[in-house]
Amino acid sequence: MNLLLISNSTMAGEEYLSWPRLFILDFVRENKIKSIAFIPYAGISLSKNGLNESYDIYTNKVKTVMEQLGVTVTSVHNTGTPADIIENSDCIMVGGGNTFFLTHMLYNTGLMEVIRKTVIEGKPYIGWSAGSNMACPTLKTTNDMPIVEPQSFNCLNLIPFQINPHYLDANPDGHGGETRQQRIEEFLIANPSVKVVGLREGSLLHISDDKIELKGSKKLRLFQFEELPMEFNPGENLDFLLK
């Protein structure tokens, strides 16, 4: 498999998909990608005029960036048969937004199994935020509100560990709720055999078969049951996460 799992699309004050653009370009060139099947289902709030318009807006935002990189983008939401679009594209790209709604739609359209099979067979996969969550065994480490109840919490299960995108260390003054670390530790109590990667904004994971590399400007924070969190720098060996 060949996966590019990005924590976030955009840093505050930057253009859309600005910080990961060079990493995406490298991935596109390495894999000779000329066409992308885009999954916009997580992006439901870009318009007040309904889901289709939100998906159109989302797709056009992604097209604007990817066409600058020499790649065509076709969304699965409004053209042809979604499974055929995936079959006829060089790469699958899953955008961020609400992970629960994304999971709900992938089950409702039958694409969950189509994407999983296609990526396992070798088609490259790019995802950010909810799209990175989707590569995990389950959506249980998303930060999102469960605005719908999907058929299952099970996701693509392309990797054997969980990702928490947009991972934050901060505990704001006056905040009485749990920190992100405490939320992840709750997950580990209920799922003690699963590793969780806190993927900070400005970082991504590139997974190629049995190799995994952290790229970007931030450290990764690894959580395991009844162990202290561990920090890893970009370039350090993380292949153990795939075992």
Residues designated catalytic = 129, 144, 166
CB 137, CB 241: distance < 8 Å: no
d(CA 8, CA 150): 23
Residue with tokens 């075992």: 243
d(CA 93, CA 110): 17
CB 155, CB 137: distance < 8 Å: yes
